[in-house]
Structure 1
Amino acid sequence: MDQFNDKIENQMHDYDSEEKDQILENFNHFKQFLSHKVDQGEKMGLSEEQLANTAEMVANYLMKHEEPRNREEHLLHQLWQVADKEQQHTLAHLLIRLVQQ
């Protein structure tokens, strides 16, 4: 799993600042990006649990390396900070379900 975590983190680092800005500038762009990545994961045969684990890794990366850029991201940032590990995992599941609709 550590190799998978490293791969996710490397992919996140590979986005240049302009790409990150486009994705994170508003919450709808972020949801579209996440929806596209969830769709790709589903086509690869990932389960909802695997998708949530990946979303959790991305969220942890964003917490460490990116500042929230809009109200929705600020809210998610605050929720992530006060949540314990189990609650963060539940939030990751909820984000996956949000973009699957």
Structure 2
Amino acid sequence: MGRDTISNFPEELAQNIRDGLKHGLSEEMMVKGLVSVGNLMSRFVKPDSVEESLMNEIWQTATDEEKRMLAEIVLRMGKKRVH
């Protein structure tokens, strides 16, 4: 992720959560979606920075339960910005 993208991430995340809620997605469905996206990115996206490499290594090392926990944290972070 570029610097501009990183700075926009919290608001982009909040907007996606708003859209999901508007379309009837449950938090459980959003968490499962976040885990799926994390798995896909870990497999197919080449990290462009030291931070992305670290996040990729954390994701690949994490158990399924830990990945779910990380997804729940990301969801909670985004929900703080949902109005």
TM-score under structure 1 normalisation? Answer: 0.64
Distance 1:75 1:35, change over 3 A: farther
Q: Which whole-Å CA distance do the structure 2 matches of 1:32 and 1:72 have between them?
A: 20
Matched with 1:25 is 2
Gaps of 5+ in 1: 1-23
Return the offset for 1:36.
2.2
Give the 5 Å matches for 1:48-63: 48-63=27-42
Gaps of 5+ in 2: none
> Comparing both chains, which one has the higher relative contact order based on Cα–Cα distances under 8 Å and sequence gaps of 6 or more?
2
Matching residue's letter, 2:28:
E
Matched with 1:35 is 14
Matched with 2:76 is 97
Structure 1 stretches of at least 4 aligned residues deviating more than 4 Å after TM superposition:
none
May I ask how many residue pairs the two structures share in their alignment? 78
Q: Which whole-Å CA distance do the structure 1 matches of 2:49 and 2:2 have between them?
A: 7
Matching residue's letter, 1:55:
L
Identity, in percent, stands at: 28
Q: Which whole-Å CA distance do the structure 2 matches of 1:25 and 1:37 have between them?
A: 19
CA RMSD of aligned residues (A): 1.9
Q: Which whole-Å CA distance do the structure 2 matches of 1:30 and 1:66 have between them?
A: 17
Deviations 1:21-78 (A, max 9, x none): xxx3232233333332222111111111110000111111111111223454333222
Q: Which whole-Å CA distance do the structure 2 matches of 1:72 and 1:99 have between them?
A: 20
